[in-house]
Structure 1
């Protein structure tokens, strides 16, 4: 009887869900409370379930679940809720991944930090083909044993954690057992579901955080299919021939855009790609320089996901450490790069350096000739031997059309790997996928990166590839048009509010080919002390954003995205993209991203009203 009502509820959700639940990649911050995120969404949904009041309108009015679909969204949350209810688990103890293996890696990482062993039990004498026990032990240094059993009752008590792997099992008939700490059900083409034993609730945040920073939740479209499977509906199968066709097309487009010949790799999101890069380079370094330590050099205030991921990788990997690379504000990226690489050379360590160009949120571009010199300089260790040359990981999401990697470009002689978040310009906001490509100098690293991307099963889904195949051909034109709108908006703000601080590329820099469509805004402030001035500025930022999204609700959104097809997105990086950055490194400024299609005149009019009402009144 209980499942009968649950099935009816899921049928109603699938029949009446808002279109946005399948088609939006970013949250609606106008109905978003970050502190409550998933709990608030499911509490309200539970009321609809109890009252049999599920309609398209009531679903549309639910608070937002999580932040990006990377961490979770309405359909993945309902899938987790339904399974938790079916198995009498707390709702947060069911965690849906797009990857079939990242749930395993999340548990292994947490146990590595805790100093615990892990045993992985699997059926049918065969591990899922994505898993490679030797690599997991050799590259990730995880203490793990793999055991094949046909009888779950035969699982013995183990001094550590027990993971049970099951493939393509009926989601309604899973047999959870007290002596299984983590039950993971993998689903072909959809991802996996992690069921956490109630005695291990302290693992839940760590598993969810890996999903947020190194992978993504099961996508909305695949969560929809999993819900169909749960209630015995037959979901539409993946057309693997179309997927391969789209993959071939997308790779060709990326090579053309980036002026490269190496094979591009496609991941489920930008951070999935970055994680594959990081672990691929650690993999290669452990083989080539087994006695040397590895230094990940990263700006302390760059995009929060990049910062957080790098530091968590270092925390879980013996012999891997972080070196800060100050790049924004009063710091110069080139000088910082030279200083830090000199330090790492003296330590005789392997330098892996990560940077965004332009930077986020200050939208700064370093002198590229000087940066090339700093990265190319021959350095010596403290004993006078030749130091290991750096590998440069470049996040060029803000300007994915800029040619960094071609054979005649400045960075041609620097081992460089570039990656882009596909949720931005490449897909126009239609999916979260990310991609990477290398220059010729770093081409030998692609196999290492691909090995780790596949090991983590973080490759792009069929639908993500299809969106990229549709959107990439128009990307350069959209970037050009969005930049024109952004330049006009910036010029207008300079005119009506010249005392504001605006961080945007100069005309000189844009003439070099850097044409971003995002800028940051420091509104004029007042107060007797620095604390009062900072508080006043923060309040003014929010007033501006609230006015814009209230008066232009069809176009102005409170959202962290960038590269969208239409409208204008506003955010405060310190409370969104820099969420895990150290407080002293956060930037409480407004960040504005402008699309190729919007009512610019209306935005300028509303901004001018704000200036007259709040600043010049």
Structure 2
């Protein structure tokens, strides 16, 4: 499209765009094709652009670009398309990041695994957090650095060339044909990466995967301001100026909800903070336990992002190995941890355990006293020396209100770091920011974690801090109210369809404080063979979800969501949250998440209608 015509169209899109483009963190899976992420949205968006149709209705009817804004969203797609169009590049060769350093790390990771050299060139100064020594010694990245006056001074190189420029506005981006990767950094907005040349097309999927797992796309608000800059409109003054106060309030709220008085860290997403935790722990291990193997223990069927990211970290170092932790169904988390810790102790290795409590998707809680005993047990290596005690990395997204970390709490004697996805209950779906906090026993590890959070430029944005400061004070009440709705719905299903298997916390666990608002539903099935039974169950899953979102479109969504302010969300973990999990470990059951604000009686009516159709 001719550039001036494109810019004029974008100006109209900014004026008429749906507010959901700016405010939603999760979108509908029923209008989303993961294999065509970004492509399907852009194809239809470009068709509208050619027609000059920028009506809010037309824009609202476009298919979902990505199922979660952490990965990308309508505004990031439009920004990348526009910058690509200006520079004669396809949209897929332009990738925006909230982080300024992440695009560089993504290229370095790809080249590490491909044993390819990298030359990083830059004008002025490198980002202050770009720690050359840590990137080489802890991440294992290999690269050369060269300061240049301009892109024209970048010489030919046997490997990949990266040129970093500091930009004031998105209209200044340009591509030099002899440079492989252009990283354009914006002080307040993030960065935009341009991938140049047909020989570098194969990097796209790896870089997108890095954005998906270790960081986030440029946020909608920042993309909007980048687009406004592109069409010479002033930036919106929606970003807070009271960040110091908001940040202090959020840190105090995290201490209150967790029961720990240590210093929390807040990142751009739950996976951003988890990446900082893992790299911080790897850093500590390499410094303080030289030569010892690092074992990351993770359930094979847990949330796909957690599982995948842990394996990605391990893939970059021969010193790191993944150990499967069986926690759901017929497997007991405590027994599994005991088994793997005995094995790791015998090898004199370093155990880092990642686990969700309650588990996902089976919503199971282990015996906490036995868990503490197993994690606290003194173990010996094969040579009789004292084994290294584990660090327990606890994903509390389902129940962020339960106190594990305080001096009198159940895991006070175990080095524990708790983290949670902020897009869930902390923000009620208003932003993606996540946080972590350690107990006193693990507090010394926070310094290293903070270093890696800064190096990856993954701290929460000013606006994310503002949203959390507004939303977190009501979190405890929202958790309580959502649990009441969920308990009510679970009881109704149990009476209406007693042959279904429902995975939810017991009344006794709820009295102990475990009040999630999510349950999994294993529908009754029929057939002569296991294959027939599985196929029938999957068919019933689809029928149920389709009926719910068709009959209650204003509240029920086919969506990967939890802790939202209103509505009810349905998904099949095996096709969404377990997207990268090994097929044999996937759970093809329905997962249902309820909010504190929904028409519960209407949902009961529709569920009864489903039972009558079975």
TM-score by length of 1: 0.98
Once the two structures are superposed, what CA deviation does each residue of 1:8-63 show, in whole Å capped at 9, x if it has no partner? 01101100000110110001223222222211100001101111112111100101
Q: Which residue of 2 aligns with 1:205?
A: 205
RMSD: 1.1
**Contact 1:345/1:380 (<8 A) preserved:** yes
Contact 1:30 1:558 in 2 (8 A): yes
Q: Distance in 1 between matches of 2:174 and 2:89?
A: 13
CA offset digits 1:372-431 (Å, max 9, x no partner): 111111111111111111001000100000000011011001000000000000000111
Give the number of equivalent residue pairs: 613
Report Cα offsets for 1:158-202 as digits up to 9, x if no partner. Answer: 122111100115433433122211100011111100100132000
2:285 paired residue number: 285
- C-alpha distance in 2 between matches for 1:361 and 1:575: 12
- 2:170·2:227 contact (CA, 8 Å) conserved in 1? no
Matches for 1:381-460 after TM superposition, within 5 Å: 381-460=381-460
> What CA distance in whole angstroms lies between the structure 1 residues aligned with 2:475 and 2:169?
42
Distance 2:508 2:257 in 1: 22
Q: Check the 8 A contact 1:267/1:434 in 2, yes or no.
A: yes
Matches within 5 A, 1:165-564: 165-198=164-197, 199-236=199-236, 241-564=241-564
8 A Cα contact 2:25 2:69, kept in partner = yes
Deviations 1:342-390 (A, max 9, x none): 1111111111110000000000000011111111111111111111110
Q: Does the 8 Å contact 1:122/1:149 carry over to 2? A: yes
| Residue pair 1:79, 1:227 contacting (<8 A) in 2 also | yes
C-alpha distance in structure 1 between counterparts of 2:288 and 2:215, whole Å:
27
**1:61-85 Cα deviation digits (max 9, x unpaired):** 1011022101110000000001111
Give the structure 1 partner of residue 120 of structure 2: 120
Give the Å deviation of 1:122: 0.7
CA distance in 1, matches of 2:258, 2:284: 24
Give the Cα–Cα distance (whole angstroms) in 2 for the partners of residues 313 and 238 of structure 1: 36
The aligned counterpart of 1:132 is 131
Aligned counterpart, 2:95: 95
- Distance, in Å, in 2 between the alignment partners of 1:328 and 1:515 is 19
Q: Match of 1:354, SS?
A: strand
Give me the whole-angstrom Cα distance separating, in 1, the residues matched to 2:467 and 2:319.
Answer: 40
Q: Distance in 2 between matches of 1:455 and 1:592?
A: 37
Where 2:354 maps in the other structure, the secondary structure is strand
* 1:613 lines up with 2:613 in the alignment: yes
1:141 matched residue in structure 2:
140
Q: Distance in 2 between matches of 1:66 and 1:29?
A: 9
Q: Per the alignment, in what secondary structure is the counterpart of residue 146 of structure 1?
A: strand
Which digits, 9 at most, give the CA deviation of each residue in 1:254-302, with x for residues without a partner?
1111111111100000000000000000011111012111110000000
Partner Cα distance (2:429, 2:150) in 1: 46
C-alpha distance in 2 between matches for 1:46 and 1:602: 39
TM-score normalised over the length of structure 2: 0.98
The corresponding residue for 2:106 is: 106
**Equivalents in 2 of 1:237, 1:603: separation in Å?**
40
- 1:411 aligns to what SS in structure 2? coil
Q: Tell me the secondary structure at the aligned position of residue 410 of structure 1.
A: coil
Gaps of 5+ in 2: none
| Per-residue CA distance 1:467-525 (angstroms, 9 max, x = gap) | 11111001111101111110010000000100000000011111111000000000100
Structure 1 residues without counterparts, runs of 5 or longer: none
CA distance in 2, matches of 1:303, 1:402: 20
Task: Name the structure 1 match of 2:158.
Answer: 159
* Distance in structure 2 (CA, Å) of the matches to 1:602 and 1:240: 39
- Corresponding residue SS for 2:430: coil
SS at match of 1:355: strand
SS in structure 2 of the partner of residue 412 of structure 1: coil
Deviations 1:86-145 (A, max 9, x none): 111111000000111111111111111111121110102x21112111111121111012
Moved more, 298-307 or 284-293: 284-293
Question: C-alpha separation between the residues in 1 aligned to 2:578 and 2:276?
Answer: 21
Q: Is the 8 A contact 1:133 1:146 kept in 2?
A: no
- In 1, the alpha carbon distance for the partners of 2:314 and 2:439 equals 26
Contact 1:189 1:238 in 2 (8 A): no
Alpha carbons of 1:170 and 1:493: their partners in 2 closer, same or farther (altered >3 Å)?
closer
Counterpart contact for 2:169–2:186, Cα < 8 Å:
no
Looking at structure 1, the residues matched to 212 and 318 of structure 2 have their Cα atoms a distance apart, in angstroms, of 23
Superposed CA deviations along residues 540-564 of structure 1, whole A, max 9, x for unmatched, are: 0010001011101111111110001
